[in-house]
Amino acid sequence: MFARVTEHAAIAPFQIAKPEGQMPDRERRKPEPPAGRVLERLLNATQVESLRSLEHFGWQLTFVRKPLFQAAVPIVVDADRKNYAVIEEDGTVNGNPPFKIRP
Protein backbone atom coordinates (compact mmCIF):
# COMPACT_ATOMS: atom_id res chain seq x y z
CA MET A 1 0.00 0.00 0.00
CA PHE A 2 2.75 2.49 0.89
CA ALA A 3 5.82 2.84 -1.27
CA ARG A 4 9.06 2.09 0.42
CA VAL A 5 11.30 5.18 0.61
CA THR A 6 14.97 4.51 0.14
CA GLU A 7 17.88 6.77 0.95
CA HIS A 8 18.30 7.82 -2.70
CA ALA A 9 14.62 8.46 -3.33
CA ALA A 10 14.76 11.61 -1.20
CA ILE A 11 17.24 13.21 -3.59
CA ALA A 12 15.78 15.04 -6.56
CA PRO A 13 16.91 13.66 -9.93
CA PHE A 14 18.94 16.79 -10.74
CA GLN A 15 20.97 16.73 -7.53
CA ILE A 16 24.18 14.83 -7.10
CA ALA A 17 24.61 13.07 -3.78
CA LYS A 18 27.86 14.21 -2.18
CA PRO A 19 29.33 13.36 1.19
CA GLU A 20 28.76 15.97 3.88
CA GLY A 21 30.79 19.15 3.36
CA GLN A 22 31.87 18.58 -0.25
CA MET A 23 31.20 21.08 -3.00
CA PRO A 24 29.51 20.10 -6.29
CA ASP A 25 31.81 19.26 -9.21
CA ARG A 26 30.77 22.20 -11.37
CA GLU A 27 29.43 25.69 -10.90
CA ARG A 28 25.73 25.87 -11.74
CA ARG A 29 25.33 29.64 -11.56
CA LYS A 30 25.68 31.38 -14.88
CA PRO A 31 26.93 34.98 -14.95
CA GLU A 32 24.78 37.33 -16.96
CA PRO A 33 26.76 39.31 -19.50
CA PRO A 34 26.41 43.05 -19.04
CA ALA A 35 24.23 44.69 -21.63
CA GLY A 36 26.66 46.79 -23.69
CA ARG A 37 24.05 49.26 -24.80
CA VAL A 38 23.02 49.88 -21.19
CA LEU A 39 26.65 50.62 -20.27
CA GLU A 40 26.90 53.04 -23.19
CA ARG A 41 24.38 55.32 -21.50
CA LEU A 42 27.13 56.22 -19.05
CA LEU A 43 29.41 57.55 -21.82
CA ASN A 44 29.48 60.97 -23.41
CA ALA A 45 29.05 61.51 -27.17
CA THR A 46 32.77 61.54 -28.02
CA GLN A 47 33.37 58.34 -26.06
CA VAL A 48 30.50 56.61 -27.89
CA GLU A 49 31.92 57.79 -31.22
CA SER A 50 35.34 56.34 -30.33
CA LEU A 51 33.70 53.12 -29.17
CA ARG A 52 31.92 52.75 -32.54
CA SER A 53 35.25 53.16 -34.34
CA LEU A 54 36.92 50.56 -32.11
CA GLU A 55 34.04 48.10 -32.62
CA HIS A 56 34.89 47.97 -36.34
CA PHE A 57 38.26 46.48 -35.34
CA GLY A 58 36.79 43.87 -32.96
CA TRP A 59 37.07 45.80 -29.69
CA GLN A 60 34.11 45.75 -27.32
CA LEU A 61 33.02 47.60 -24.21
CA THR A 62 33.74 45.33 -21.25
CA PHE A 63 32.76 47.43 -18.26
CA VAL A 64 32.58 51.00 -17.02
CA ARG A 65 34.32 52.14 -13.84
CA LYS A 66 32.42 54.76 -11.90
CA PRO A 67 34.73 56.41 -9.35
CA LEU A 68 32.94 58.57 -6.79
CA PHE A 69 32.39 62.15 -7.91
CA GLN A 70 34.29 61.54 -11.17
CA ALA A 71 33.36 60.85 -14.77
CA ALA A 72 32.73 57.28 -15.92
CA VAL A 73 35.76 55.40 -17.28
CA PRO A 74 34.87 52.93 -20.07
CA ILE A 75 37.15 49.90 -20.45
CA VAL A 76 37.36 48.17 -23.84
CA VAL A 77 39.02 44.87 -24.76
CA ASP A 78 40.25 43.58 -28.11
CA ALA A 79 38.85 40.51 -29.86
CA ASP A 80 41.62 38.27 -28.48
CA ARG A 81 40.90 39.47 -24.93
CA LYS A 82 44.61 40.20 -24.45
CA ASN A 83 44.71 44.00 -24.63
CA TYR A 84 42.67 46.42 -22.59
CA ALA A 85 42.31 50.16 -23.07
CA VAL A 86 40.45 53.12 -21.61
CA ILE A 87 38.44 55.63 -23.61
CA GLU A 88 39.21 59.03 -22.10
CA GLU A 89 36.60 61.80 -21.73
CA ASP A 90 37.83 63.51 -24.90
CA GLY A 91 37.46 60.27 -26.90
CA THR A 92 41.14 59.34 -27.08
CA VAL A 93 42.09 55.73 -26.47
CA ASN A 94 44.62 55.12 -23.70
CA GLY A 95 46.34 51.74 -23.95
CA ASN A 96 48.23 52.33 -20.70
CA PRO A 97 45.64 53.34 -18.11
CA PRO A 98 46.86 54.74 -14.77
CA PHE A 99 45.38 51.76 -12.91
CA LYS A 100 45.85 47.98 -13.04
CA ILE A 101 43.24 45.94 -14.91
CA ARG A 102 43.00 42.33 -13.79
CA PRO A 103 42.42 39.76 -16.56
Is beta strand 60-65 parallel, antiparallel or unpaired with respect to 84-87?
Answer: unpaired
pTM reported for the whole predicted model = 0.62
Domain with 47, as residue range(s), is: 30-94
Is 8 part of a structural domain of the chain?
Answer: no
pLDDT in tens, 40-55: 888 999 999 999 999 9
pLDDT in tens, the chain (103 residues): 544 555 555 555 555 556 666 766 777 777 665 566 778 888 999 999 999 999 999 999 999 998 899 988 999 999 998 899 999 999 999 999 888 877 6
Q: Which helix (H) or strand (E) holds 75?
A: strand 73-77
The helix, strand and coil proportions of the chain, stated in percent and rounded to the nearest 5, come to 20, 15, 65
In a domain, 99, yes or no: no
What is d(CA 96, CA 78) in angstroms, rounded to the nearest whole number? 14
Interstrand relation of 93-94 and 60-65 (parallel, antiparallel or unpaired): unpaired
> Is residue 42, in this structure, part of any structural domain at all?
yes
The structural domain count of the chain equals 1
Residue 101 belongs to a domain: no
Residue 45 in any domain: the answer is yes
| Inside any domain, residue 16 | no
In a domain, 89, yes or no: yes
Residue 42's Cβ-side half-sphere holds a number of Cα atoms within 13 Å equal to 19
* pLDDT at position 54: 96
